[in-house]
Amino acid sequence: MRSAVIVFPGSNCDRDMAVALHTITGTRPLMVWHQDTVLPDVDLVALPGGFSYGDYLRCGTMAAHTAIMPEIRRHIAKGRKVLGVCNGFQILTEAHLLPGALRRNQGLKFIHRMVSLQDAQRGDTVSMPIAHHDGCYLLDPSGLARLQDQGGVAYRYIDNPNGSVGDIAGVFNATKTVLGLMPHPERAVDPDLGLGTDGRRVIQSFLEGL
């Protein structure tokens, strides 16, 4: 499994993601600068968490228009996978590669804690950390109905921390090759970090198409 992590100015989880993917796949990911115009031939592209462009204008907006994004669109068109975590999820929605939008948390405060999630596809429960200020997922009623009908809800919060519609913590595109998540699975891969290893299950299930 070959992978690449896109690095934006303001990314702060790119190395965490790279270490997690190396641990899971056994292959060290390539680090790709956001202004590169050629994407290596890989199976997975990861958009990491952080504060791309300092969250100016709106979280993920400026990153969604960088030079690497046309390559990521071509990557998706080939049926290959993209994982966006936290700010990466915001970038995917701003680029209209996933439905919906992320806005300020309902309580207007940064939230950093462990949360329990239900895998909407299989019903399993997993625990992972969140760390975001703009994680409230929004989608209009018709879009939400369409997303649910298509099986596009990936994960739901068991105790919704940010006011997301339908308790949604993560969504797929129509072909389930693109996954956006507000929680951080890459932080729950190494047991030495003390946050469990459910993040490894989440990433592996996405890579394996489960």
Which of the residues are catalytic? 86, 184, 186
Phi, psi of 91 (to 5 degrees): -60, -45
Strands, E assignment, 56-167: 81-85, 101-103, 111-119, 125-132, 136-138, 153-157
Please spell the DSSP secondary structure of 5-71, one letter per residue. EEE-TTB-SHHHHHHHHHHHHSSPPEEEETT-S---S-SEEEE--B-GGGG-SSTTTTGGGSTTHHH
Rounded Cα distance, 44 and 186, in Å: 14
Indicate the DSSP class of residue 194: S
The angle that helices 14-25 and 198-207 make with each other, rounded to 10 degrees, is: 70
CB 63 within 8 A of CB 8: yes
SS3 of 113, please?
Answer: strand
Token representation of residue 106: 């309902």
SS3 of 129, please?
Answer: strand
